[in-house]
Amino acid sequence: MLQQTGVKTVVPYFQKFTNKWPDIVSLSKANENEILRYWQGLGYYSRSRNLLKTAKIINRDYNANIPSSLEELILLPGIGDYASAAIRSIGFNKKATVIDGNVKRVIARFFSLEGTLASNFDDISYLAKMLTPSKGNADYSQAIMEFGALICKPKQPECKLCILREKCLSFKYGLVLSIPEAKKRINKKKLKCDSFLAINNNQFVLIIKRKEQNLLKDMWQLPSSDWISEMSVRKLSSQIPFKSNWIQQKKKINYKFSHINLLNTTYVTKVKTKIKLDHLEYKWINLKELDSYPLVTLTKKILLDNNLI
């Protein structure tokens, strides 16, 4: 959960998730829909699918015991260099070098490596390995990551409190605030889309299952148009899920992804019957049952704005 996501956001998700599935055996029996529902709002949904696949494999092939060798861990879905090192180090207290963003920044500053973290990655990895202790590895890994999060922070590091200050080269040369060099800001694509909120009897809404092989695969959402450039023009009639009196809502929703700014316009219609759509995997869901569907965040925002959840 903590990959790409901050601790503050993760804590309530983690608590709910581990209350529901406290161990690998119970998690391995969950279905993907349920997992996605507990993950909704955290984003990067492939992490949750991989977690489920990995739990199933560990339950089936390892008698529900997490393996501790690098060779076995690295073959599990969703486990790469960082996660395998973290499991080996923190979980098994084995010698493994954990390198997250905090560790990279502490090392870059301590050794005064000018440039971006990415441009110094080889040097940082080499130095991180040199520093990795054989004993007490679990404590060391957690300590250096926490040190980066609490003392050698990205902005306003606490150099006055720092126990490494005497030996820190960035501090010595007055370079603390310029190391690491900031990444170049990416220009986010500006796209737009239309979402269609169909309400039947003030009780049911129409939702569809996403099929595209992307991050949001198998999540549920309101029917919506393709995402197109903010400057493009298209006819509403080519996008609507069915003919009806669609009313455009004034309030637009600006939704931010890591590489995209998406401007959503919502159209609402009230229908007397639950219209059938042959070409989509869709459901008319009673508003009281919406909780049991993993919904994409944009759909949740639209439903909230319309006081439907």
State the residues that interact with ligand SF4 by CB under 6 A.
106, 109-110, 151-152, 157-159, 162, 164-165, 168, 170-171, 176
Q: Which two tokens stand for residue 57?
A: 């494999």
Q: Which is nearer to ligand SF4, 84 or 102 (CB)?
A: 102
Q: Are strands 260-271 and 247-248 parallel, antiparallel or unpaired?
A: antiparallel
Residue 238 half-sphere exposure, CB side, CA atoms within 13 Å? 5
CA–CA distances in Å: residue 254 to residues 111, 258, 262? 41, 13, 6
CB of 181 vs ligand SF4, minimal distance in Å = 14
Tokens 């965040």 locate to 297
Measured over the CA atoms of residue 229, residue 232, residue 233 and residue 238, the dihedral's sign is negative
What is the nearest approach in angstroms of ligand SF4 to the Cβ of residue 74?
A: 31
Q: At what angle do helices 7-20 and 32-39 cross, to 10 degrees?
A: 150
Closest CA to 197 of 254, 165, 242, 157: 242
Please state the closest distance from residue 182 (CB atom) to ligand SF4, in A. 16
The residue among 107, 112, 154, 144 whose CA lies nearest residue 128 is 107
Residue number with CB closer to ligand SF4 (138 or 159): 159
Q: Give min distance, CB of 144 to ligand SF4, in A.
A: 11
Q: CB of 56: closest distance to ligand SF4 in angstroms?
A: 42
